[in-house]
């Protein structure tokens, strides 16, 4: 998969509820992935990010729209604009989503981009392949703040 892809324009924003800001698609069944999403929620005080599990209706519709596989959940998919044409995958997506946050995560995202892609993606792939063995499956529990639920798409 290419790290950044162009896709056809959405003809409708219904899949993302009209949201045109940043959208992160993640493996909704992965314990590590859900922990990362909670980390992002805690640090996104401006509430600029929205989230959708890759396995959900929004995730599947977005993957089809982008021409990405609908059964391969080994990469996050970050869309800087949920209704736009570009997405960033693997470590490029991690760097981009971190840069949406203030403070040290933004700086970390900028530094991460300086690491050669082959090295970043190599590390990402190792973690992606072992995440269930190391961190287990997601065990549902309430969000720390009820208002965070509004930031998720099915």
Range of the domain at 42: 19-135
Question: Residue 2 above 50 pLDDT?
Answer: no
10 occurs within a structural domain: no
What is the domain count for the chain? 1
Question: Residue 70 above 50 pLDDT?
Answer: yes
Question: Residue 6 above 50 pLDDT?
Answer: no
148 occurs within a structural domain: no
For all residues of the chain together, what is the average pLDDT? 90
DSSP string, the chain: --SEEE-PPPS--GGGTT--S-EEEE-TTBHHHHHHHHHHHHH-TT---EEEETTSHHHHHHHHHHT--SS--SS-EEESSTTSSEEEEHHHHHHHHHTTSSSHHHHHHHHHHHS-HHHHHHHHHHHHHHHHHHH-B------SSGGGGGGB--
149 occurs within a structural domain: no
151 occurs within a structural domain: no
111 occurs within a structural domain: yes
Quickly state the pLDDT bin for 14 (edges 50, 70, 90).
low
Question: Residue 8 above 80 pLDDT?
Answer: no
pTM value > 0.75: yes
What is the layout of strands, in order, in the sheet containing 77-79? 4-6, 86-89, 77-79, 23-26, 50-53
pLDDT tens per residue across span 101-130: 999 999 999 999 999 999 999 999 999 999
Instruction: Check if the beta carbon of residue 87 is closer than 8 Å to that of residue 120.
Output: no
Question: Residue 10 above 50 pLDDT?
Answer: no
């Amino acid at each position: 998969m290419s790290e950044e892809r162009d896709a056809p324009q959405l003809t409708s924003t219904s899949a993302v509820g009209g949201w045109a800001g940043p959208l992160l698609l993640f493996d909704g069944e992965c314990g590590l992935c859900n922990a990362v999403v909670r980390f992002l929620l805690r640090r996104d005080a401006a509430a600029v990010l929205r989230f959708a599990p890759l396995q959900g209706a929004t995730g599947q519709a977005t993957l089809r729209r982008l021409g990405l596989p609908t059964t391969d959940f080994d990469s996050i998919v970050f869309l800087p604009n949920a209704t736009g044409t570009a997405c960033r995958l693997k470590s490029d997506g991690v760097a981009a989503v971190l840069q949406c946050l203030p403070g040290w995560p933004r700086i970390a995202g900028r530094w991460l981009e300086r690491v050669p892609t082959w090295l970043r993606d190599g590390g990402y792939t190792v973690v992606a392949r072992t995440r269930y063995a190391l961190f287990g499956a997601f065990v549902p529990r309430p969000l720390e703040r009820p208002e965070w639920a509004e930031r998720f798409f099915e």
